[in-house]
A and B are shown apart, each in its own frame.
Chain A
Amino acid sequence: METLIANLAHGFSVALSFENLLFALIGCLIGTAIGVLPGIGPVATISLLLPITFGQPPVTAIIMLAGIYYGAQYGGSTTAILLNLPGEVSAVVTTLEGYKMARNGRAGAALAIAAIGSFFAGSVATVLVAASGPLLTSVALSFGPADYFSLMLLGLIISAVLAQGSVLKSIGMVVLGVALGLVGTDVQTGQQRFTFGIPELSDGIGFVAVAMGMFGIAEIILNLEKPEARSVLSTKVGSLWLTRQEWVRATPSVLRGTVVGSVLGILPGGGAALASFGSYMMERRLSKNRHLFGQGAIEGVAGPESANNAASQTSFIPLLTLGIPSNAVMALMVGALIIQGIQPGPRMVEAQPDLFWGLIASMWIGNLMLLIINLPMIGMWVKLLQVPYKYLFPSILIFCAIGSYSINNNVFDVYMTVLFAVFGYMCAKLRMEPAPLLIGFVLGPMMEEHLRRAMLLSRGDPMVFVERPISATLLAIGAVALLAMALPNLRKGKEAALAG
C-alpha cells in the first residue's frame, strides 16, 4: 500500500510536468473532437498522429495517445445525445436513450450524467490499473516462452470471438494479420521473407500504413458512399444539472456500468464498444425503471457511458503488464512503444516506472480535464458538429497523407496506405472485420519468437504447451471460448449484445 502511494506520487510528479500536462490536454482535446465527429475514430487518429510522436519522450507520447482514446469516449456521447448519431462505435447505445432524453428537453442532463459518470468510472478504473499492474506483472514474470505463446493465442482467439460478425471470418482475419506480420527480415537467420526484393519491406509492412489504410482511408470512402445523414441541430442543450430524482436513478447505473466496463475492458477483444453494449443490456434487465427504457431513461445513458470510459482505461492493463494488446487501439500503442525503443512486457513496470506510473497519473488528470472540456465548453463541440463532412474529409485525407509519408520520409508508405485502403474497403464489403487483423499483425512476430524459443527449450516437443500448467490453462480457456461460440444459444446472445 505504501509503495503504491509512493509510486503514484512519483507518477503525479511525472504527469504534472509542464510538457506532459500540455500533451495530455492536447490528447484530450483531439480525442473529444474526433469523438464528437462521426466518421473518424481513435484508431485512425492515433495511427495518423504516431509519426508526430517520434520526437517526443516515450511518456509524453503515450500520455497524448491515451488521452485521444479515452477522450473519444467522452466526445462520442455528445453526438449521440444531440444528433442521434454515434460519434464513436462505443456510443451507439447512448443514442437509444440519450437522444430520447434530448427530445424530452433533458439534453443537458444527459450530457452531464455522461460526463460525470465517465469521470467517476475513469477514476475507479485508473486506481484499478494502478493496483493490478504490479500484481499481474509479478505473475507474468514467471511465464516461460510456451506460456507466452499460449497467452497470445488466447488473446487472438478471444479477440476474434468477441469481434462483430462471424467468428470464423474473424479468426481468418487474425491469421491473415499474423501472415502479414511475417513479411520482412527473419529475426533469427536474417533471411528476407516475402519482401519481393523491395528494400522498404525488409523491416516488415509498416503498421501505420495498415491501420491508417484500413481504418482511416477506407472509412472515408465508405462515409462518402453514404449520403450525409447529419441534420442541423435543433435541440437546445438546456440546464446542465440533474434533478434530485435523476441523481437517484443514475447513481446505481453508474456504479454497475463502472464494474461491467472495468471487467470487459481487460478482456482481449473487449474495450469500450463491448463495454457499453454490455452495460446497456444489463441496465435494461436490472434497472428499477426498465419500463421507461425507450422513452429516455437516464439509466441507459449513465450505465453505458460509465462503462465505455472504464473499459478504455482498464484495456491498458494487459498492455502494460503483459505486453499484449487487447484491441486495435492497444495494438497501436504497442507500435508506438516499439518505435520508441521500449519492448512492452512484464518488465515495463520495473524498467520504465516513469512511463507506467506517469501514464496512470495522467489518466486521472486527463479525466478531470475532460470533465471541464466537455461540460462548460459543450457549445464549442456543438459548433464543431456543424462543419459538414464534405469539408472535413479532404482535411483528414491530407493529414493521413502527410502522416504516412513522414514515418520514413518515403512515398512508399503512402502507396502502401493506398493499398491497404483498397483492402480495407474490400473487407468492409465482404463483412470481414479489420480489428482482429490489426491485433494479429502486431502479435504475430512476437508469437513466432516465443514459439521458436519454446520449441527449442522443449527440444522440439510440442507437448510443452499442454504440460506446463499455465500454458495448458490458457489453451483450455481458449478452447472453451471457441466451443462456446459453436453453441447456437450463446452465439445469438452475442449477436444481440453487439447489435444493442
Chain B
Amino acid sequence: MKLNAKDIASGVFLVAVAAAGLWLNQEHALGTARRMGPGYMPMLVFWVLMALGGIVLLIGLFNGPDPLEKWTPLDAKSLAAAVAVGLAAYLVAPWLGPLFAQNYADVGLGMLAGFLVLCWAAGWRMLGYVCAALCVFSLLLEKGGLMLAIIGTVVVSAIADPDHRARPLGIVGVTVFLLGLCWWIFIRQLDIRVPVWPWSL
C-alpha cells in the first residue's frame, strides 16, 4: 500500500468540517436559487468542501507513501490529558474568585492548563509553551496590567528554548527591553486603551 497519511488526514479533516457545517446549517433557511436564504451559500460551500475532502482522501490512499511524523505513546497520552485537564479547568474557572471574573477567563484558563499539560511530551513542547504564553498574556492583561502581562508572556515563552533555562540573564535583558519598548510604542505613542500597571486599575 502507498498510503499518504498526510493527505488522508487532510481529507478526513475537510470532510469532518463539511459534515459539521452541513449539520449546523440545518437551522438556516435555504431559500430558493433566485432568493437565496442565509443557508444557501453555506450549503453549496460545505457540499463542495465535502466532495474535495473525499477526493483528497481517496487519492491519499494511493499517492504515498508520505507518513506523518511519528507519535510517541507520550505524545498521544499528553494530548488526551491536555484536553481533559483543559476542560476541567474551563469548568472549574468560574468558582475561582474575583481574579478570574473577566471576559473569557474560563476559556483562557482552560486553554492555559491544556497547553501546559501538553508540554509534558517533548514533541508538543514548542506548541504548548508558545500558546500558553499567549494565554498568560490575555489572562494577566486586564487584571494585572500590560507590564505584568509582558513579563508573564516572555517568561513562559522563554521556557520553550533550552538555552534560556541554562542562562536566564539574556531573557531578563529582553524583558526589560520589551517593557520599555512596548511602553514607548503602545502607551506613549499609540495610547491604546489598556491598564498599564497592576496598581493603575
Residues of A within 8 A of B (CB): 52, 55, 166, 168-169, 171-172, 175-176, 178-179, 182, 186, 188-189, 191, 193-194, 217, 220-221, 224-225, 390-391, 393-395, 397-398, 400-402, 405-406, 409-412, 414-415, 417-418, 421-422, 425-426, 429-432, 444, 448, 451-452, 455-456, 458-460, 462
Contact = CB atoms under 8 A, between A and B. Distances in A.
A451 B44 CA distance: 11
Given A182-B45, A394-B154, A451 B137 contact: no
A343 to B, nearest CB: 19
A224 B174 contact: no
B141 interface: yes
Given A224-B126, A411-B104, A455-B33, A168 B59 contact: yes
A431 B171 CA distance: 33
B13 A430 contact: yes
Nearest to B112: A418
B77 interface: no
B77 to A, nearest CB: 18
Given A397-B153, A411-B108, A179 B49 contact: yes
B130 A460 contact: no
A462 B34 CA distance: 9
A395 B32 CA distance: 52
Given A194-B24, A418-B111, A391 B174 contact: yes
B113 interface: no
A401 B36 contact: no
Main SS class of interface, A: helix
Given A414-B134, A414-B138, A415-B107, A172 B28 contact: no
Interface in B98-121: 102-104, 107-108, 111
A398 B185 CA distance: 12
Interface bin, chain B: 35 or more
A409 B194 contact: yes
Interface string B132-156: 0111011101100010011001100
A448 B69 CA distance: 38
Given A189-B38, A395-B178, A194 B21 contact: yes
A57 to B, nearest CB: 15
B141 A193 contact: no
B28 A401 contact: no
B190 A55 contact: yes
A405 B141 contact: yes
Contact of A390 (B9, B24, B164): B164
Nearest to A431: B6
B188 interface: no
Contacts of B53: 172
A69 to B, nearest CB: 21
Given A225-B126, A395-B181, A452-B41, 9 more contacts: A169-B56, A172-B53, A182-B41, A193-B42, A224-B130, A390-B163, A401-B138, A401-B153, A455-B34
Contact of A224 (B102, B103, B139, B161): B161
B97 interface: no
Contacts of B6: 429-431
| Interface-central residue, B138, B141, B160, B186, by most chain A CB under 10 Å | B138
Contacts of B34: 455-456, 458-460
A405 B194 contact: yes
Contacts of A430: 6, 9-10, 13, 68
Given A411-B141, A452-B36, A217 B134 contact: yes
Nearest to A181: B45
B69 to A, nearest CB: 7
A217 B65 CA distance: 29
| Interface-central residue, B69, B102, B170, B174, by most chain A CB under 10 Å | B174
Given A176-B17, A395-B178, A168 B55 contact: yes
Nearest to A175: B49
B131 interface: yes
A158 to B, nearest CB: 17
B158 interface: yes
Interface in B9-59: 9-10, 13-14, 17-18, 21, 24, 28-29, 32-42, 45-46, 48-49, 52-53, 55-56, 59
B182 interface: yes
B78 interface: no
Contact of A415 (B14, B104, B149, B193): B104
B33 A168 contact: no
B30 to A, nearest CB: 12
A410 B108 CA distance: 12
A431 B5 CA distance: 11
A224 B131 CA distance: 13
17 contacts: A172-B56, A176-B17, A191-B29, A193-B42, A390-B161, A394-B175, A398-B137, A398-B178, A402-B192, A405-B141, A414-B137, A418-B134, A422-B131, A431-B66, A448-B41, A451-B36, A456-B34
